């Protein structure tokens, strides 16, 4: 049976959803999100979705709690409206940093969010560059975790080449991402930032493991939040003799005054994607935003047609 596809957007990044719809040549589904006087949210789906293959595009970025609740309510509404399949398209998966217990009596909130999405009625998750790949195992439904590498690599290669380049991972958890980047850039060198945290978002000290002298260092990470760790890493690399530092971070969380701090830092350029709506290009000259909407559009098309998505992972 040739089922129709319908795409809905939450309020986290509607322009991103519109770009996906434009790529696919489909109209954006009608959905009104209502906030009552006491702060509660409700959803009014304006299209018939019975028997349809439905995709909801919503990053759980700031305000994360509102956007997550919005997504859950939309999933429930579509399930009750007899949608055939519901795929939650989450370009940025919030709460992903709370993926394990580092001390007693703390939650594993990434697992809780996975449970909420599944119980609400999602049949599948499509996301990008999870903070930890193991989060896919928190779900009992299929998860496709795309990578921004195919979008970021051409830009970085064209601008910086592959000679005298070192790919830098800001921590041990990012070494696999760094290796993939290094391989695509022509087996360039890899370095690691060994950091010691005193508390969340505050680093006590850093040292570089690897050769960076006289090279342009490209720090690759899944996200940039306050920018503090990224700036300190860049300063450490320059102290070790690096010729310059570029940051390539998929998700521009950019909390507090991160944009201003990064603009004033020693980092030459900050390359991010549009998984999260950001005002960075308007506020500063160091930011380059690359769109991953075409990649998500291709993934949605493959899922809808029951084709393999594996070709999009690297």
How much of the chain exceeds pLDDT 90, in percent?
A: 83
Give the model's confidence band at 1: pLDDT under 50 very low, under 70 low, under 90 confident, else very high: low
Determine the Cα–Cα distance for residues 250 and 307; give it in Å rounded to an integer.
26
Q: What is the pLDDT of residues 70-125, one digit of tens each?
A: 999 999 999 999 999 999 999 999 999 999 998 899 999 999 999 999 999 999 99
Residues comprising the chain, all counted: 314
Whether 202 shows a pLDDT value over 70: the answer reads: no
- Nearest 5°: the CA angle 28, 250, 300 is 35
CA end-to-end span of the chain, whole Å?
A: 31
What pTM value is reported for the model? Answer: 0.94
Distance of alpha carbon 165 from alpha carbon 188, whole angstroms: 6
The yes-or-no verdict on residue 11 having pLDDT over 80 is yes
In angstroms, rounded to a whole number, what is the distance separating the alpha carbons of residues 88 and 116? 12
> 239 in helix, strand or coil?
helix
d(CA 176, CA 230): 18
- CATH 3.40.630.30 fits domain 5-147+294-312: no
**Is the fold of 5-147+294-312 the same as that of 149-291?**
yes
What CATH number belongs to 149-291? Answer: 3.40.50.2020
Q: Is 156 exposed, middle or buried (0-12, 13-18, 19+ CB in 10 A)?
A: buried
Per-residue pLDDT, 198:
56
Q: Other CB atoms closer than 10 Å to residue 175's CB: what's the count?
A: 13
Pairing type for strands 269-273 and 287-290 reads parallel
Three-class SS string for 150-170? HHHHHHHHHHHCCCCEEEEEC
Per-residue CA distances from 55 to 28, 110, 182, 193, 304 (Å):
10, 21, 34, 38, 9
Parallel/antiparallel/unpaired status of strands 202-209 and 216-224: unpaired
pLDDT of residue 43: 95
Q: What pLDDT digit, counting tens, does each position of 181-195 carry? A: 999 888 789 999 987
- Which of the residues 111, 195, 243, 302 is marked catalytic? 195
Spatial separation of the C-alpha atoms in residues 125 and 122, rounded to whole Å: 7
What is the pairing mode between strands 202-209 and 189-199?
Answer: antiparallel
Question: In the predicted model, what is the mean pLDDT of residues 12-29?
Answer: 97
Answer yes or no: 243 catalytic: no
Domain boundaries, the chain: 5-147+294-312, 149-291
C-alpha 314/C-alpha 312 separation (Å) is: 6
Within 10 A of 239 (CB to CB), how many other CB atoms are there? Answer: 11
Rounded-to-integer distance, Cα 193 and Cα 271, Å: 19
| Residue 122 Ramachandran class (φ > 0 left, ψ -120 to 50 alpha, else beta) | beta
């Amino acid at each position: 049976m040739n089922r129709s596809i319908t795409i809905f957007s939450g309020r986290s990044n509607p322009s991103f959803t519109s770009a996906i719809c434009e790529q696919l040549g489909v109209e954006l589904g009608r959905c009104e999100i209502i906030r009552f006087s006491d702060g509660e949210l409700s959803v009014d789906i304006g299209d018939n979705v019975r028997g349809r293959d439905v995709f909801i595009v919503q990053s759980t970025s700031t305000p994360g709690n509102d956007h997550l609740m919005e997504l859950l309510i939309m999933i429930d509404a579509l399930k009750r409206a007899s949608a055939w399949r519901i795929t939650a398209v989450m370009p940025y998966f919030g709460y992903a940093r709370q993926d394990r217990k580092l001390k007693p009596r703390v939650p594993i909130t990434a697992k809780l969010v996975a449970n909420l999405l599944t119980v609400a009625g999602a049949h599948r998750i499509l996301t990008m560059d999870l903070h930890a790949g193991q989060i896919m195992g928190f779900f009992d439904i299929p998860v496709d975790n795309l990578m921004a590498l195919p979008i970021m690599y051409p830009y970085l290669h064209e601008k910086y080449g592959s000679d005298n380049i070192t790919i830098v991972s800001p921590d041990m958890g990012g070494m696999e991402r760094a290796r993939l980047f290094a391989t695509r850039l022509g087996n360039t060198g890899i370095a690691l930032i060994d950091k010691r945290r005193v508390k969340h978002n505050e680093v006590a000290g850093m040292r570089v493991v690897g050769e960076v002298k006289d090279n342009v260092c490209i720090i690759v990470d899944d996200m940039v939040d306050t920018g503090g760790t990224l700036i300190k890493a860049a300063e450490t690399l320059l102290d070790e003799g690096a010729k310059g530092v570029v940051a390539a971070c998929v998700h521009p969380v950019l909390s507090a005054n991160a944009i201003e701090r990064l603009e004033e830092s020693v980092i030459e350029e900050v390359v991010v994607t549009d998984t999260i709506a950001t005002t960075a290009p308007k506020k500063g000259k160091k930011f380059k935003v690359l769109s991953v909407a075409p990649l998500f559009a291709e993934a949605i098309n493959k899922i809808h047609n029951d084709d393999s998505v594996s070709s999009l992972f690297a």
